[in-house]
Structure 1
Amino acid sequence: MSDDLLQDAKVEVVGMAKEGMHHPSTKPVLTGAAVGAVAAALLPVVSWPVGLVAGAGFMLYKRLRP
């Protein structure tokens, strides 16, 4: 199952890279990244880049496995 998830994620990220803002996953993933970065900025333990990656990763996962 994890191979399927990794393959799906690869296809999704490549599609987002090729289509840019026209891809249906781009806006939700960017929104998740922004929310993660803001949340991390409010938390003293986590830096904003970690929050950005975590937020983007979470939204990408939710797009792949709703």
Structure 2
Amino acid sequence: MARQHPEEPTLAERTLEEVKAMGRQGADHPSTRPVLTGAVIGAIAGGLLPAVSWPVGLFAGAAIALFGRVKR
């Protein structure tokens, strides 16, 4: 998928910037709490599902929450 405006950052660039900002600001960043909540929910779901382990669920939950925040 081609970018329409060269000055617009890609989804990967926006995600990387969001992660960097979360690292700098810690709990004060507005995305930190939703991403941590997604990670906890994913870890619980991963622990309950027989085909997925809790670390995979934790990563998937955090990733889903992060991409949901960045995509808006």
Asked if Structure 1 and Structure 2 have the same fold, meaning a TM-score greater than 0.5 normalized by the shorter chain, the answer is: yes
Rg bigger for which structure? 2
Q: Could you tell me how far 1:65 is from its partner in structure 2?
A: 1.2
Q: 2:21 aligns with which of 11, 15, 20?
A: 15
Q: Deviations over 1:30-61 (max 9, x none)?
A: 00000000001000110000000000000001
The percentage of counterpart residues that share the same residue type is 52
Structure 2 residue 62 is matched with structure 1 residue 38: no
User: Could you tell me how far apart the structure 2 residues matched to 1:65 and 1:8 are?
Assistant: 9
Q: Cα RMSD over matched residues? A: 1.6
Counterpart of 2:34 in structure 1 is 28
Structure 2: gaps of 5 or more residues: 4-8
User: Could you tell me how far apart the structure 2 residues matched to 1:65 and 1:6 are?
Assistant: 10
Local SS of the residue matching 2:67: helix
TM-score by length of 1: 0.94
User: Could you tell me how far apart the structure 1 residues matched to 2:49 and 2:43 are?
Assistant: 10
- AA matched with 2:24: K
Higher helix share: 1
Q: Deviations over 1:15-36 (max 9, x none)?
A: 0000000000000000000000
